[in-house]
Amino acid sequence: MIKEKKRGNLIIISGPTCAGKDTVIKELLKKRENTVCPISYTSRKIRKGEVNGVDYYFITREEFERKIENNDFLEYAKVRYGEYFGTPKKELEELLSNGKDVILEIDVQGASQVKKLFPETILIFILAPSMEELKRRIKQRGAEKNIEEVIDRFKTAYKEIQKIKKYNYVVVNDEIEKAVQKIEAILISEKCRVDRIEELYVQNEEEFMHELLMDEYFENKEKKITDI
């Protein structure tokens, strides 16, 4: 009786550094066959062990800026050291049109940009269990060279968390498996939304059966149901 919209859902997952977004997304993709994470473009140099077209599309800064001028990106950002990262618009639109659910890992600023273009976007914010745990994870990662960089990273994370009310859902990542289960539940419930119904219809056979049942009801309304 219900025909769902074929178009897939666009899901953005954001959160502060060391909240575990990458791990959660990788585990989620293993469990959901129809869910994909499109490959982003970057102007930074390829690192050892990375594969062009798998980890990123690695292009020059000049090529990236030409794509910006051509409006090829859904969103993009210029990060530290002047390197670009961007989400390709055409590839994403093709995936959604083919019924794929698309997950993007984007910061809070990029999420706001995408939400304006695609109001139906599902925004999910991933949190560490506590600020103390977040600080521990940042220090344990060891990517920062000194305590000043650790403090700077922590301050940035705190500012990002203040934007949480712009999101539809929040998931605390205390255990990866539980966090993935929560996101799966969110995506299942989103598929059941009434606004995903493209058409509500009753087939002729069902109409015919309804009429027969009603006729039988009126013919036998004085009898007990066990006598019918």
**Tokens encoding 154:** 């922590």
Token pair recorded at residue 193: 């939304």
Q: Which amino acid is at 225?
A: I
Q: At which residue do the structure tokens 């989103």 appear?
A: 190
Reported pTM: 0.79
pLDDT reported for residue 195: 82
Q: Are 38 and 102 in contact (CB under 8 A)?
A: yes
> pLDDT tier at 104 (50, 70, 90 boundaries)?
very high
Mean pLDDT of the chain, nearest integer: 85
Q: How many percent of the chain have pLDDT more than 90?
A: 52
User: What pLDDT score was predicted for residue 43?
Assistant: 95
Instruction: Say which residue the tokens 């059941």 belong to.
Output: 192
How far is the C-alpha of 187 from the C-alpha of 47, rounded, in Å? 34
* CATH fold for domain 2-37+101-227: Rossmann fold (3.40.50)
Strand boundaries in 49-114, DSSP class E: 57-58, 73-78, 84-88, 101-105
Is 43 buried (19+), middle (13-18) or exposed (0-12) by CB count in 10 A?
buried
Per-domain residue ranges of the chain:
2-37+101-227
d(CA 51, CA 92): 20
- The CA–CA distances, whole Å, from 144 to 77, 80, 137, 138, 150 equal 21, 13, 12, 8, 6
At 9-22, the pLDDT tens digits run 999 999 988 888 98
Look at residues 96, 104, 144, 120 and name the one whose alpha carbon lies nearest to residue 15: 104
Confidence of residue 221 (pLDDT cuts 50, 70, 90): low
Q: What gap in Å lies between CA 7 and CA 92, rounded to an integer?
A: 12
178 against 147, higher pLDDT: 178
